[in-house]
Amino acid sequence: MIARQGAGVLLLALLPNLAAAQQEVPPPDLALIEAGEHVFLRRCSRCHGRAADEDPGGNIRGKSINEIHVAVDGFDQMPPQRLREGDAEAIAAFLAHLAAEDS
């Protein structure tokens, strides 16, 4: 019984911190999203579609910057791509924005 009460007290103590952490999510960087859309439409949409969810490239909405770095090295049917500095970050921001629209 004491252990259950202790867990309840701990949970109550953590709730304010959890609420504060959820409020600290920064707003999306609209300029970065727009830049990512521009690069994506120019470099990626031929295979992934304008909405990043079409074949033959498939749905890549929400892919991370690390996944983009791996992909642009090329694999299977994905040819290697040369991106400028900052392009992968911008594309990732655009893909995250598209994924957020889905939820």
> pLDDT tens digits for 44-91?
999 999 999 999 999 999 999 999 999 999 999 899 999 999 999 999
> What's the whole-model pTM score?
0.74
**Residue 27, C-beta contacts closer than 8 angstroms, at least 6 positions apart:** none
CATH superfamily of 30-102: Cytochrome c-like domain (1.10.760.10)
How high is the pLDDT of residue 10?
Answer: 47
Q: For residue 9, what pLDDT is reported?
A: 46
> Would you say residue 33 has pLDDT above 60?
yes
- Provide the 3-class DSSP secondary structure of residue 81: coil
Q: What residues does each domain of the chain span?
A: 30-102
